[in-house]
Amino acid sequence: MQITLLGTGNAAGMPLYGCDCNYCVQASAVRSLQRTPCSALLEVDNKRYLLDAGQMNLAERFPAGSLDGTFITHFHPDHVQGLFHLRWGKSLSLPVYTPPDTQGCADLYKHPGILVFQQLRKFSEITLGQLIVTPLPLIHSKPTFGYLFEFKERKIAYLTDTKGMPDTSLEQLMLNSPDIMVIDCSFVPHSDNQTHNNLDDVIDLQKQVKPGKTILTHIGHDMDIWLKKNPDALPEYIMAGHDEMELVAG
């Protein structure tokens, strides 16, 4: 089971529009320094599933028929904007698994095209072949799910966007300590935000869940700069993700 981080930035991304700091200037010139909308690709048992659809080049990167479904964490635009183009495809359908959000985003529900929306229930497992998926409620400004993926006793947790973790979701993760935990870390230590983790939040969760490794994603401009200025500051077993990073559980 492999996960590729297609994008590791928050909604603003890196470089930040209009910012002329040295870090943004460098990121403008060097693709490997950029952070695009937070999303990932899960590959397991010859199947490929998108985790969020914020990337705008989905039709170019994934030819028709090459995706087996999409798991949406929530319906903020930077996590679903790629669907607005894909929906107008033809001669196929694409399952889209979502939290129970009655509003969705703009007119996606009204005009789904090839998208087949399937609302999931919290903690209610679904089985896709040998892949077991458990939706985990997160703490955010819209109904939001993280997902625990299990395949042949290997486990990956994908947890964005969130501020901390509901007790019931945390208990589930502690019982099923994942090999890899990919988690929202939008802000620098000691930052005050009610809908996204700072590094202190992540460290606290890492100590409780005890995953094999913890990968930071949904990284904001200031957090990106903090990581560059403090390259050795992350605790053991925690590392910053980057766009196109490949991770294998097993």
DSSP of 166-190, one letter per residue? -HHHHHHHHHT--SEEEEE--B-TT
- Amino acid identity of residue 169, one-letter, is S
82: helix, strand or coil: coil
- pLDDT given for residue 190 in this prediction: 95
Backbone angles phi and psi of 202, in degrees to 5: -65, -45
112 touches 138 (CB < 8 A): no
* Cα–Cα dist 248/78, whole Å: 26
- pLDDT given for residue 67 in this prediction: 97
Sheet order of strands, 131-137 included:
126-128, 131-137, 145-151, 154-159, 180-184, 213-217, 238-240
Residue among 104, 60, 100, 110 at smallest CA distance from 80: 104
- pLDDT given for residue 4 in this prediction: 98
- Amino acid identity of residue 122, one-letter, is K
* Count of H-run helices and E-run strands, the chain: 7, 14
- pLDDT given for residue 232 in this prediction: 94
* Cα–Cα dist 198/114, whole Å: 37
Token couple for 40: 């990932």
Per DSSP, helices labelled H in 2-120 are 22-29, 58-61, 77-80, 83-86
138 touches 145 (CB < 8 A): yes
Query: What's the pTM?
Result: 0.97
- Amino acid identity of residue 27, one-letter, is A
Length of the chain, in residues? 250
- pLDDT per residue rounded down to tens, the chain (250 residues): 999 999 999 999 999 999 999 999 999 999 999 999 999 999 999 999 999 999 999 999 999 999 999 999 999 999 999 999 999 999 999 999 999 999 999 999 999 999 999 999 999 999 999 999 999 999 999 999 999 999 999 999 999 999 999 999 999 999 999 999 999 999 999 999 999 999 999 999 999 999 999 999 999 999 999 999 999 999 999 999 999 999 999 7
* Cα–Cα dist 104/116, whole Å: 13
- pLDDT given for residue 90 in this prediction: 93
Q: Are strands 154-159 and 145-151 parallel, antiparallel or unpaired?
A: antiparallel
- Domains of the chain, first to last: 2-243 (3.60.15.10)
- pLDDT given for residue 250 in this prediction: 75
Residue among 140, 141, 135, 139 at smallest CA distance from 157: 135
- Partners of 132 in the β-ladder: 127, 150
Helix or strand run (H / E) with residue 134 = strand 131-137
- pLDDT given for residue 248 in this prediction: 96
